[in-house]
A and B are shown apart, each in its own frame.
Chain A
Amino acid sequence: MNITVDLDKCCGYGDCVLAAPDVFDLDDDNVARVLDPDPGPGAEDTVAEAAAACPVGAIEVKTT
């Protein structure tokens, strides 16, 4: 899995952090930070939920 956040789109809503707190956090300048770009197959559902929850569609998940 490879998770990226498009920082031009991210406005720091924090929905990803609520959905997958082990994978995302918010920086001090209020943009999402990926804590773990490859959290393993067990995390697929929560990561997909986080990507779907993003109001501006800033999260891209590639499965390798």
Chain B
Amino acid sequence: MTDETTGRTKTTEDHGLTFDPHSPDLTPERAYELYGELRAECPVAHGEKYGGYWALAKYEDVKAAAMDHERFSSSGGVYVPAVSEHRFPPIDFDPPEHAKFRKLIAPLTSAAAAKQMEPAIQATVDRLIDSFVDEGRAELVEQMSIPLPLDVITQLYGLGPEHARDIRDYSLEFLEHASGSEGQAVVSRVCAYWLTVFEERRNDPRDDFISDLVRVNSDLDVPDEELANMMFILTYAGHDSTALGLGNTLLYLAEHPEVHDHLLEDPKRIPVAVDEILRYHAPLHWFPRLATEDVPIADQLVKAGERVMLLFGSANRDADVFPRADEIVLDRSPNRHLSFGAGIHTCPGMPLAKAEIRIAVTTLLERLPGFHVDGDVERTTPLEGGGRHLGVRKLPVTW
């Protein structure tokens, strides 16, 4: 909007509102409160830090930008400010390169692959529950949300348990440094690690994803360094984001044991409820783009080259799209939330993540009847992982 006396475009600061992902005050509660203020007063808000950026708060604007990859490029990377010189395929790439990488990972992430993984997911969930069920209490982040997706992704890669441990250690390390100066060094070390795995599989091919990847790539001619960057982001996103989403879902269920019977009565209610919890608490709250040309959005003009943050966490709470947006409505339908993004960069792991969460929830509801919070819950507060992650770090329960 324009100030009538000065003719100058109003900025977030004029409203006293700033979305700063790295603010130590950005607790989950404050984030949602701020999103509400932005949607009401300044849905296209300018921030001055990190080289300047626009923050989009309304569902309609966020979705339109996500769908418009021609005018909103992903080439600027996902971290603000950038943590690394590395560009991570496919998320940091625009067409046509983007499609090449999506097709490379499709065998791993397709809906059909997720379906095929279901017995392995179920077996992992059962094994994890077996390890603590007799104790009558558990810490569901350390004993379910973290190990399940990690186990699934390493099984998908065809890597053994020693690699699983390496992958988890690297990811925790990166999470800690994602917004700091050491991020670059961690990324470089992890990518060097993947290069050694490629070399191992090239010399000793097996019937696994990495062997296929290096073989298929001999035609595509993508440099190994780019493939290593892809493995870095795929792995990191493939288990940490799922751990966040699963943790948020289990926290809700542990705080609301009164809904358990309702969900178990008809298991078809479970995926619907999971989608609703994922809408209510987006695991990843925003992603950036770069405008490739001047784009008017609402009453602002985003100029070519300017950075735009798509606040998915805010879009999901937009009451113009979701009635009773600030409540969890377990049977909400339709529920076109943006927790997996939209457009060409839609999370490739969506079918897999949904399968993991559905199977974990169903089995926990059956085997830990009436499980509920018993002890101190720790949330990610302020938002972690470069100011983007909303999840649970400790969830003690009993039943």
Task: Name A's B-contacting residues (CB within 8 A).
Answer: 8-9, 11-14, 26-30, 55-56
Q: Taking CB as reference atom, which chain A residue is nearest B342? A: A55
Are A9's CB and B99's CB within 8 A? yes
By a CB distance below 8 angstroms, the chain A residues around B344 are: 11, 13, 55-56
Q: Mark B95-119, 1 if CB is under 8 A from A, else 0.
A: 1000100110011011111000000
* B304 CB, min distance to chain A CBs, angstroms: 22
Count B-side interface residues using an 8 Å CB cutoff: 18
28 examples of A-B residue contacts, CB within 8 angstroms: A9-B99, A11-B99, A11-B103, A11-B106, A12-B102, A12-B106, A12-B110, A13-B344, A14-B111, A26-B111, A26-B112, A27-B112, A28-B112, A29-B106, A29-B107, A29-B110, A29-B112, A30-B106, A30-B107, A30-B109, A30-B110, A30-B112, A30-B113, A55-B67, A55-B69, A55-B344, A56-B95, A56-B99
Are B346's CB and A55's CB within 8 A? yes
* A14 CB, min distance to chain B CBs, angstroms: 6
> Whole-angstrom distance between the alpha carbons of A11 and B342 in the complex?
13
By a CB distance below 8 angstroms, the chain B residues around A30 are: 106-107, 109-113
In the A-B complex, the 8 residue pairs with the smallest Cβ-Cβ separation, listed nearest first, are A30-B110, A11-B102, A30-B106, A28-B112, A55-B344, A55-B343, A26-B111, A13-B346
* A5 CB, min distance to chain B CBs, angstroms: 14
Q: Taking CB as reference atom, which chain B residue is nearest A8? A: B99
> Whole-angstrom distance between the alpha carbons of A13 and B99 in the complex?
11
> Whole-angstrom distance between the alpha carbons of A29 and B67 in the complex?
24
Q: Taking CB as reference atom, which chain A residue is nearest B90? A: A11
* A17 CB, min distance to chain B CBs, angstroms: 8
By a CB distance below 8 angstroms, the chain A residues around B103 are: 11
Q: Taking CB as reference atom, which chain B residue is nearest A28? A: B112
* B245 CB, min distance to chain A CBs, angstroms: 18
Among B330-350, those with CB < 8 Å from A are 342-344, 346
> Whole-angstrom distance between the alpha carbons of A11 and B90 in the complex?
12
> Among the interface residues B99, B106, B110, B343, which one has the most CB atoms of the partner chain A within 10 A?
B110
* B115 CB, min distance to chain A CBs, angstroms: 9
> Whole-angstrom distance between the alpha carbons of A19 and B193 in the complex?
41
> Whole-angstrom distance between the alpha carbons of A41 and B195 in the complex?
54
By a CB distance below 8 angstroms, the chain A residues around B346 are: 13, 55
Q: Taking CB as reference atom, which chain A residue is nearest B346? A: A13
